[in-house]
Amino acid sequence: MDDKIIESALRTIRIEKEGLDNLEKSIDDQFVKAVKTIYDSKGKVIVTGIGKSGHVAHKIASTLSSTGTPAVYLHPADALHGDLGIISQDDVVIAISNSGETSEILSLIPYVKFVGVPLIAITGNERSTLARKSDILLLVRVEREACPLNLAPTASTTATLVLGDALAIALLELRGFTKEKFARLHPGGLLGRKLKLVKEIMHTGDRVPRVSVNASMREAILEMTSKGFGATTVVDEGGRIVGIITDGDLRRYIERGNDLNNGRVEDAMTRNPKVISPDSLVGEALSMMEKYKIMVLPVVDEEGRPVGIIHLHDILGSGII
């Protein structure tokens, strides 16, 4: 029995992989036209489908929206009972039907044509009504479904889902969609927190510890104590960072037999410390702190002047880990 279960699973995977191999043939001039049509539109993308295709349509709409292309899912049955009003003249409609003859989908076509918006069909039947009445045809043809009866949508829905991802990523790259833009669309959850910017959590102004490279160790210790970060930046006459003194630097300074009362900052500091820019991602700051095993990270502007500081506790408090 166990062998039969494993063989069934492997057969399903192989069949669905075959479907994806065939999908590569659909990446042609029609695909390019679909991407450009969506990119040039001033409205949103309406994605519609019913049954298993409806679930895939919902996911495609969600992926488009999260990667910079405003999109919504429209249930065909709801559309026929008043929700057609969501379609405006600046929109693009993507209709998904493997057979291309789904009655609920076909019922939408006259209104789509009346409004005058582009209709992109995703179907496995190039001779279907949906294919013939569409402006752009994205063909998703699979040789067989993974279902042994060749009935349950399996390989075809997987291929359609991947085609939707291909559309979304092509549009993402065409728009120059950045991590920062992604973060703004994902403010909740771990992804959103990791994609916060350093400037959103850093301490600024008088909270940033700094002493002159010519200062005494006594002054450095007072600055470290008053600011409470267990460290202070060290700056030159132009205010640019040239070093940092941490609690670890103090211990090593003492172990070398130096006098804290009469010592100079430049003899104790770590030169050329690790720094980060305010517009970097908090996730990048965390990676740097983990890599170099540091608790404090100065934030500097383009001139190398300290404008902020973040402690590992700030990152912990932001909920990233």
- Partnered with residue 121 across adjacent β-strands are 95, 137
Cβ neighbours of 285 (radius 10 Å): 25
Residue 53: predicted pLDDT: 93
3-state DSSP call for residue 304?
coil
Judge whether 256 and 267 are in contact, CB under 8 Å: no
Least confident of 80-94, 184-198, 200-214, 272-286: 184-198
Going by pLDDT thresholds of 50, 70 and 90, the confidence category of residue 181 is: low
| Residue % of the chain over a pLDDT of 90 | 61
Mean pLDDT (whole number) for 289-310: 94
Domain edges within the chain: 2-177, 198-317
The token pair that represents 140 in the structure block: 């998703």
- Same fold across 2-177 and 198-317: no
Q: pLDDT band for position 183 (50/70/90)? A: low
The CATH number of the domain covering residues in 2-177 = 3.40.50.10490
Per-residue confidence (pLDDT) for residue 308, from 0 to 100: 95
In angstroms, how far is CA 23 from the centroid of its own chain?
25
For 196-221, what is the mean pLDDT?
Answer: 92
Confidence of residue 44 (pLDDT cuts 50, 70, 90): very high
d(CA 53, CA 107): 16
CATH class in words for 198-317: alpha beta
* Higher per-residue confidence, 47 vs 67: 47
Mean pLDDT of the chain: 89
Average pLDDT estimate for 42-47: 95
pLDDT value at residue 101: 95
**Nearest residue to 70 via CA among 46, 94, 96, 95:** 46
Checking if the pLDDT of 154 tops 80, the result is yes
Which one, of 23, 39, 29, lies nearest residue 168 by Cα? 39
Say what the pLDDT of residue 155 is: 82
Reported as a pLDDT band with limits 50, 70 and 90, residue 213 is very high
Per-residue pLDDT at 6 exceeds 90: no
- Work out the pLDDT band at 188, boundaries 50, 70, 90: low
